[in-house]
Amino acid sequence: MGSIESLRLRDRIGPGVNVLFVGINPGMRSALTGHHFAGYSNRFWRLLFDAGLVPVPLTYEDDDRLPEWGYGITNIVARPTSGMNDLRPDEFRAGARILLRKIRRHQPAIVAVVGVTVWRALLESLGENDARVRPVAFGFQSELATETTRYFVLPNPSGRNANYTYDEMLAAFKKLRAAVRR
């Protein structure tokens, strides 16, 4: 049997995906359960429901249901870690290239990047040298946008993220819901 770091989460991306949620990489609990955003204190699933993005409450065990509503989910880096600081720059660069191939293949209208740090890591791995210091507001970003796909930054819903209140996170998720309905 391999180590926990050899485990990989399966993407949940169905045909006709409208919004592709992108995390940085799976945490250890997600790797062990085989489900995205499975951390005990992660609020992703509650935010989806409270923001009106899904019509029923979900848990990490329901991540296979996301395609029912035109959503998909993946990560920049597939390797699970106990924290993103355990990831190497070369992993981000390789993961960013893989992510861009997934986006070209599935052509979601919106790529919802889950976390400012995820967005900055994506930009930096693609050669944006000032990405780490550039201010980022929640919502649509002009970088990387194409004719068919726009990028939307959401707050990181991890319980480790003490930068935003639940209400601030919810406001950003509701902003995404409004964009999806347009």
Provide the annotated active-site residues: 25, 36
Q: Tell me how crowded residue 155 is: count the other CB atoms within 10 A of its CB.
A: 22
Close Cβ partners of 126 (under 8 Å, ≥ 6 residues apart): 93, 96, 100, 144
Q: Tell me how crowded residue 165 is: count the other CB atoms within 10 A of its CB.
A: 10
Which tokens sit at 48?
């989806």
Q: b/e per residue, 74-107, with b = 16+ CB within 10 A?
A: bbbbbbbbeebeebeeebbbebbeebeebbeebe
Three-class DSSP category at 22: strand
CA distance 137 to 94: 26
In 3D space, the residue among 51, 52, 70, 49 whose CA is nearest the CA of residue 60 turns out to be 49
